[in-house]
């Protein structure tokens, strides 16, 4: 008689129970499912500048998201095992402890995350277990693209045209109603920021949006956006399109397909803009998959003392350019600024201060709560003029597309005021 099959689901940047292929497939294929999340110390170590690789705003958002995932799994009769440690050590230990037969995870594309996967795969192979890879972070599934990864157009405009013409977005997968799991003897505690080596962030009273990590808050933000958008449409008001969903998309608390189908379902007046943003996310991930890190390698550049000094002024919002400074003050104080603000701040650092763009990319990695490796590096590379199609840069040329609503005095006055926490 064969023993029951147990599949370990390794959660990474897919912290949700809806539209989650690895979770649903594990439920279908196994008698019991073991959900696991590991806080990897690698992502909390100091970066090249000596600051935390993951800042405290982003780390807090992550902790909240993991706690929410655990709560949602418990509602389905399961639990989430949480550990602090290198997954290549944590996962094999849990596999042996719980008699796991196979491990599922979503494949990543950035080099650091890919290397982590390879280390886990090698460690599992030593105990004769398979790490099965799934694709679940994009709007369009890789298998549905009208070209193989190696032939994806480097021009975004060509990529967009062909994908929209020849591919379809898959429907969202159903949400599990129940999950059978083995008896978990030690689920583990969710770490505090102090245990990750970080200080508790101080929320700035000027911030109009408070970001709370987790699928529950992400789906609420999705619903609230469309409700507010419809109210604005009925009132015939015009404003900038800011769904502010990117933090939840970055951690997979909300899936791109959920956003896409919600936009179409609501007949939202901003659906076209929302879908365009989702397509850019896809494009950057597929470019990473096609070219790897080499696609965004900067030209060799020797940093001067003057450039180092300029970079420090930029980080602290002391450049003397009001909109740039206000944007950086808000970033430091909240961990979030609009896409437009990022483009202006990045463009100023690269084009006016002539600082190596990778420094800015590293700083955004630390600060942004919606940090995503492919999008962050891709956006910075485009700002630095590394686009393959000059037409693509029109989307990123923020300096020439100034919006009066975006650069009004209220924003600048608010985030250059002396009161409040600058972080």
56-105 per-position pLDDT tens digit: 999 999 999 999 999 999 999 999 999 999 999 999 999 999 999 999 99
End-to-end distance of the chain based on CA atoms, in angstroms? 61
Whether residue 423 has pLDDT greater than 50: no
Percent of the chain surpassing pLDDT 90: 68
Q: 224-233 — which CB contacts under 8 Å span 24+ positions? A: 226/262, 226/263, 226/266, 226/268, 229/266, 229/268, 229/269, 229/270, 230/266, 230/268, 233/269
Q: Whole-prediction pTM value?
A: 0.91
Mean pLDDT of 348-354: 92
Choice among 332-346, 353-367, 375-389 with the minimum mean pLDDT? 375-389
Q: What is the pLDDT of residue 395?
A: 44
Residues 6+ apart with CB under 8 A from 174: 24
Domains in the chain, please, with CATH?
6-136 (3.40.50.620), 140-171+214-296 (1.25.40.80), 298-415 (1.10.579.10)
pLDDT tens-digit readout, 218-235: 999 999 988 776 655 554
pLDDT greater at residue 242 or residue 313: 313
Whether residue 256 has pLDDT greater than 80: yes
Mean pLDDT of 126-136: 95
Q: What is the pLDDT of residue 51?
A: 81
pLDDT greater at residue 294 or residue 206: 206
106, 12 Cβ separation under 8 angstroms: yes
pLDDT greater at residue 304 or residue 396: 304
Assigned token pair, 62 = 């992550």
Whether residue 250 has pLDDT greater than 70: yes
In this structure, is the dihedral angle defined by the CA atoms of residues 361, 288, 90 and 36, taken in order, positive or negative?
positive
Assigned token pair, 209 = 């949006």
pLDDT tens-digit readout, 143-190: 999 999 999 999 999 999 999 999 999 999 999 999 999 999 899 999
The model's confidence at residue 314, banded by pLDDT at 50, 70 and 90, is: very high
Task: Give the burial class of 295: count Cβ atoms within 10 A of its Cβ; 0-12 exposed, 13-18 middle, 19 or more buried.
Answer: middle
Whether residue 325 has pLDDT greater than 90: yes
pLDDT tens-digit readout, 366-417: 999 999 999 999 899 888 887 555 455 544 444 444 444 445 678 888 888 6
Bridge partners of residue 84, in order along the sequence: 39
Bridge partners of residue 161, in order along the sequence: none
Residues 6+ apart with CB under 8 A from 234: none
Angle at 101 between CA 111 and CA 87, to 5 degrees: 35
Whether residue 125 has pLDDT greater than 50: yes
Give the burial string for 26-63 (b: 16+ CB within 10 Å, else e): bbeebebbbbbbbbbeebbeeeeeeebbbbbbbbbbbb
Q: What is the pLDDT of residue 79?
A: 98
**Closest-CA residue to 323 (of 331, 333, 311):** 331
How many residues are there in the chain?
Answer: 423
Whether residue 305 has pLDDT greater than 90: no
10, 124 Cβ separation under 8 angstroms: no
Q: What is the pLDDT of residue 419?
A: 43
pLDDT greater at residue 272 or residue 235: 272
CA distance 79 to 365: 30
Q: List the beta strands (DSSP E) in 22-80.
A: 32-39
Percent of the chain surpassing pLDDT 70: 86
Q: What is the pLDDT of residue 302?
A: 60
Q: What is the pLDDT of residue 421?
A: 36
Q: What is the pLDDT of residue 296?
A: 57
Q: What is the pLDDT of residue 405?
A: 44
Residues 6+ apart with CB under 8 A from 304: none
Q: What is the pLDDT of residue 288?
A: 87
Mean pLDDT of 357-373: 94
In this structure, is the dihedral angle defined by the CA atoms of residues 65, 70, 71 and 72, taken in order, positive or negative?
positive
């Amino acid at each position: 008689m064969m023993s029951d099959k147990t599949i370990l689901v390794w959660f990474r940047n897919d912290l949700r129970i809806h539209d989650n292929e690895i979770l649903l497939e594990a439920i279908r294929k196994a008698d019991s499912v073991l959900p696991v999340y590991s806080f990897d110390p690698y992502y909390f170590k100091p970066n090249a500048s000596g600051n935390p690789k993951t800042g405290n705003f982003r780390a807090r958002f992550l902790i909240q998201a993991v706690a929410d995932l655990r709560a949602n799994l418990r509602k389905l009769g399961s639990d989430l095992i949480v550990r602090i440690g290198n997954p290549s050590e944590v996962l094999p230990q849990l596999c042996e402890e719980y008699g796991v037969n196979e491990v599922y995870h979503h494949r990543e594309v950035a080099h650091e995350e890919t290397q982590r996967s390879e280390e886990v795969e090698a460690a599992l192979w030593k105990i004769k277990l398979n790490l099965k890879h799934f694709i679940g972070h994009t709007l369009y599934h890789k298998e549905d693209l009208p070209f193989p990864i190696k032939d994806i157009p480097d021009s975004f405009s060509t990529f967009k045209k062909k994908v929209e013409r020849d591919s379809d977005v898959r429907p969202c997968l159903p949400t599990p109603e129940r999950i059978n799991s083995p008896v978990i003897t030690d689920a583990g505690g969710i770490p505090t920021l102090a245990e990750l080596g970080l200080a508790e962030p101080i929320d700035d009273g000027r911030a109009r949006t408070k970001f709370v990590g987790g699928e529950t808050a992400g789906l609420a933000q999705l619903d609230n956006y469309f409700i507010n958008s419809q109210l604005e449409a009925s009132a015939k008001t015009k404003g900038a399109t800011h769904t502010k969903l990117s933090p939840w998309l970055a951690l997979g608390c909300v899936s791109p397909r959920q956003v896409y189908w919600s936009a179409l379902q609501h007949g939202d007046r901003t659906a076209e803009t929302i879908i365009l943003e989702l397509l850019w996310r896809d494009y950057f991930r597929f470019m990473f998959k096609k070219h790897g890190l080499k696609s965004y390698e900067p030209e060799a550049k020797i940093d001067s003392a003057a450039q180092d000094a300029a970079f420090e002024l930029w980080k602290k919002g002391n450049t003397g350019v009001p909109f740039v400074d206000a944007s950086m003050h808000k970033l430091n104080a909240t961990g979030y600024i609009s896409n437009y603000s990022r483009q202006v701040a990045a463009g100023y650092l690269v084009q006016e201060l002539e600082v190596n763009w990778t420094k800015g990319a590293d700083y955004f990695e630390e600060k942004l709560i919606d940090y995503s490796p492919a999008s962050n590096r891709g956006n910075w590379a485009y700002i630095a003029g590394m686009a393959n199609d000059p037409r693509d840069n029109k989307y990123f040329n923020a300096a020439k597309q100034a919006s009066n609503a975006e650069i009004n005095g209220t924003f600048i006055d608010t985030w250059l005021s002396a009161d409040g926490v600058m972080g």
